[in-house]
Amino acid sequence: MDPTTRTAAELAAGIHSGELSSVEVTRSHLERIAKVDSEINAFLHVETEGALATAEKVDADIAAGRRPASPLAGVPLGLKDVLTTKGIPTTCGSRTLEGWIPPYDATVTRKLREADVVVLGKTNMDEFAMGSSTENSAYGPTRNPWDTTRVPGGSSGGSAAALAAFQAPVTVGTDTGGSVRQPGALTGTVGVKPTYGGVSRYGLVAFSSSLDQAGPCARTVLDAALLHEVIGGHDPMDSTSLNAPVPPVVEAARRGASGDLRGLRVGVVTELGGEGYQPGVLRSFAAAVDTLRELGAEVAEVSCPNFEYALSAYYLIAPSECSSNLARFDAMRYGLRVADDGTNGADDVMSLSREAGFGAEVKRRIIIGTYALSAGYYDAYYGSAQKVRSLVTRDFDAAYDQVDVLVSPTAPTTAFRVGERVDDPMSMYRADLCTIPTNLAGTAAMSVPSGLSDEDGLPVGLQIMAPALADDRMYEVGAAYERARDAAAGGALADRIPEL
C-alpha cells in the first residue's frame, strides 16, 4: 500500500514495529512532493537530506531495539514557513526574507526535532500569515487539490493542501484569525487552533502576537491529536505560554472514536449562520448537527450577540500589532536590502527596502494598524476593538456556562477560485467570519470535514469550539463525529480526493 495515503498513526505503528522503514515512508512522500508540487505549490523548501537523515536515525533506533523518541518518530511532516528552522530557510512567504536562514529553532521546531519527526520541508503561506487564500505568498499561490483552479484557503494553505495532496500525513500551521481551520475546511482536512498559550510562540514569526497560535493539521482527528501532544506544552521562552499540562487530546480522540456523545451539551451559535452563507455549507452543517444529536448529544441554540463585531475588532487589533511586529524588517540586520548604493541614507534604505520587500496586503495592514494606533485615533479604533474583544470573551464565557462545546460552519463558503477575491479585501476577510471570535477570546477550536457541499462537490468544515484548556473536549467530539461521518459516507473523505 502506498504510504502516502496512510494516516500518521498507521505509519507510526508500522515504523515502530519495524514493518515499515521511515526512510521508505519519507522517500515516498518526497517522491510525491516531486511529482505533484509543481501543480500544488504547497512547499517553499524541501529539506531532502535532513529528512532522510532523521528517518535513518529512527530506523536505526528501531533496529537496535531502542524506544522511539515519540509516538510520531519517523513520520514525515510539513512545517509552515513562519516557524524558524535553524539552518533551513524561513521566508514567511515574503520577498523580504528570501534567503534568510535563521540561526535558531522555534520551540515547535525543536520539539519536532527532539521527537524525531521527519521534517520534509517548509510549507507555503500568505505573506506573514496575512490572507485567507495563500494567494498573498510572494512565491505564488498554493492550489487546492480538490480543484486546482481553486484556493486551499489561508494563510496555512500550503500546510492544508500538502495533506489533501498526500505530500505529508501531518503538518503544522498557524492560526491568527482562522488560518489553520479555514484551510482545513476548504481542503477537507482537520485543522486545530489550540488554546492560546498551549503551543509556544517562540520562533513563530509574529503577525499578531495576542492572536497567533500554532496548531496541528492532519487528515484525521487522531493524527492531529498525536501532533498536538508533540508540539504543545509550557515554554519558559514564551511568557504568554500557559504553565499547564497539555490537555489529554490523544486519549480524548481515542475515546471519541467509540462514538458515544451521550450527556454532551452542544451549542449552535445563532450568529454564525444564515444570510451570506453558501446554502450547501448550511445544509452540510445542519446534517453534521443531526449526526451529533444521533450520537447522543443534546443540542441547543446559543446566542453570542457580540460576535457580530468580532470581524471589525479583529481587523483593528491584528493590523495594529502587525504594524509594530513587522517594523523590524528594516534591512539593517537581515532580509532584503535595496537602494544601498551610497546615495541613500539609512531612512531611505529602510523605506525603499520595505517598499520592495512587502506585498500589497501586508502594506495595507501595516497602514491600517499604524493609523489605528495613532494619537487621537487610538481610543476610537484600537481601544474600542479591545472592548469588543472583552465582550466576545464574555459571550463565550456565558455560552460555556450552558454548553460543553459550541459548533458552527468553519467558513461561510467552500473553496473559491484563484483570483476571485484578490481585488476585494472585504470579501476575502469574510472568509474568517466564523473563526475569528475564538482567536479574540484565546479559546480552542478545530475544523473537521463535514463532507462535500451538495451544490459544488467541494469540502465543508464543521467548527467545534471549546473553552480554554479544554482542547480535549473538542477532540472527543471531533473524533466521534468523524467516525460517524465516514461510516455514513462509506469511507474516509480523503479517499474521494481526485487524482492529481
Partner 1 sequence: MTTKTETMDYDEVLERFDPVLGLEVHVELSTRTKMFCGCPNAFGGEPNTHVCPTCLGLPGALPVVNGSAVESAIRIGLGLNCEIAGWCRFARKNYFYPDMPKNFQTSQYDEPIAFDGYLDVELGDGETVRVGIERAHMEEDTGKSLHVGGATGRIHGADYSLLDYNRAGVPLIEIVTKPITGAGRRAPEVARAYVTALRDLLRAMGVSDVRMDQGSLRCDANVSLSPKGDEAFGTRSETKNVNSLRSVERAVRYEMTRQATLLSRGERVVQETRHFQEADGTTSAGRPKETSEDYRYFPEPDLVPIAPSSAWVEELRSTLPELPWERRRRIQQEWQLTDEELRDLVNTGAADVVAATVDAGAPVDDARSWWVQFLTEQANSRGVDLADLPVTPAQVARVIALISEGTLTNKLGREVVLGVLAGEGDPDEVIASRGLEVVSDDSALTAAIDEALAAQPDVVEKIRGGKVQAAGAIVGAVMKATQGQADAKRVRELILQRCGAE
Task: Decide: is 334 part of the binding site for partner 1 (CB under 8 A).
Answer: yes
Q: Is 378 in the site for partner 1 (CB under 8 A)?
A: yes
Least separation in angstroms between residue 373's CB and partner 1 is 4
Q: Judged by CB under 8 A, does residue 323 bind partner 1?
A: yes
Q: How many residues does the chain have?
A: 500
Catalytic, 70? Answer: no
Which of 436, 447, 347 is closest to 392 using CA atoms?
A: 436
Q: Nearest CA to 172 among 210, 128, 123?
A: 123
Angle at 271 between CA 268 and CA 274, to 5 degrees: 90
Is the CB of 64 or the CB of 375 nearer to partner 1?
Answer: 375
In the complex with partner 1, the residue whose CB is nearer, 9 or 373, is: 373
Q: Is 159 in the site for partner 1 (CB under 8 A)?
A: no
Cα separation, 353 vs 330, whole angstroms: 7
- Is residue 79 within 8 Å of residue 168, measured between CB atoms? no
Task: Give the shortest CB-330-to-partner 1 separation in angstroms.
Answer: 6
Q: Is residue 151 within 8 Å of 165, Cβ to Cβ? A: no
> Cβ closer to partner 1: 197 or 256?
197
Binding residue (CB under 8 A) for partner 1 from 374, 379, 487, 489 = 374
Sign, CA dihedral 278-133-360-329, equals positive
CB of 57 to partner 1, least distance (A): 26
Under a CB-based contact definition with an 8 Å cutoff, are residues 406 and 269 in contact?
Answer: yes
Q: Which stretch binds partner 1 (CB under 8 A): 10-18, 130-138, 331-339, 421-429?
A: 331-339
Among 28, 179, 447, 450, the active-site one is 179
Asked if 368 interacts with partner 1 (CB under 8 A), we say no
Identify the residue whose cell numbers are 479591545.
386
Rounded to the nearest whole angstrom, what is the least distance from the CB of residue 379 to partner 1 in the complex? Answer: 12
In terms of CB distance, is 212 or 476 closer to partner 1?
Answer: 212
The DSSP bridge pattern shows strands 76-80 and 213-218 to be unpaired
Q: Taken in order 81, 246, 227, 53, is the CA torsion positive or negative?
A: positive
Part of the chain binding partner 1 (CB under 8 A), chosen from 134-142, 234-242, 284-292, 307-315: 234-242
Binding segment (CB under 8 A) for partner 1, from list 318-326, 387-395, 442-450, 492-500: 318-326
Using the rule CB under 8 A, give the single segment among 328-336, 390-398, 422-430, 487-495 that binds partner 1.
328-336
Using alpha carbons, select from 195, 208, 437, 181 the residue that is nearest to residue 313. 437
> Which residues have a Cβ under 8 Å from the Cβ of 299 and sit 6 or more positions away?
266, 267, 268, 289, 292, 293
Nearest approach, Cβ of 251 to partner 1 (angstroms)? 29
From the list 324, 344, 393, 427, which residue makes contact with partner 1 (rule: CB under 8 A)? 324
Whether residue 179 lies in the annotated active site = yes
Q: Name which position in 4, 54, 70, 90 contacts partner 1 (CB under 8 A).
A: 90
Task: Give the one residue of 4, 26, 84, 133 binding partner 1; rule: CB under 8 A.
Answer: 84
> What is the x/- site pattern for partner 1, positions 199-228, by CB under 8 A?
--xxxxxx-xxx------------------
User: 59-79 in b/e burial notation, b at 16+ Cβ within 10 A?
Assistant: bebbeeeeebbbbbbbbbbbb
- Coil, strand, or helix at residue 445? strand
Query: What amino acid occupies position 56?
Result: E
Q: Which of 332, 360, 488, 489 binds partner 1 (CB under 8 A)?
A: 332
Which parts of 373-465 fold into alpha helices (H)?
A: 384-402, 425-429, 436-441
User: Is 80 a residue of the active site?
Assistant: yes
Interface with partner 1 (CB under 8 A), residue total 45
Helix (H, G, I), strand (E, B) or coil at 499: coil
106 binds partner 1 per the rule CB under 8 A: yes
Stretch of residues binding partner 1 (CB under 8 A), selected from 119-127, 198-206, 259-267, 417-425? 198-206
Do the beta carbons of residue 79 and residue 50 sit within 8 Å? no
Out of 80, 111, 122, 193, the active site residue is 80
Binding of partner 1 by 97 (CB under 8 A): yes
Q: Closer CB to partner 1, residue 26 or residue 109?
A: 109
* Burial class of residue 27 in the structure, from the number of CB atoms within 10 Å of its CB (0-12 exposed, 13-18 middle, 19+ buried): middle
Q: Any idea which residues carry the catalytic annotation?
A: 80, 155, 179
Binding residues for partner 1, per CB under 8 A? 83-84, 90, 92, 97, 100, 102-104, 106, 201-206, 208-210, 236-240, 320-321, 323-324, 327-330, 332-334, 345-347, 350, 370, 373-375, 378, 382
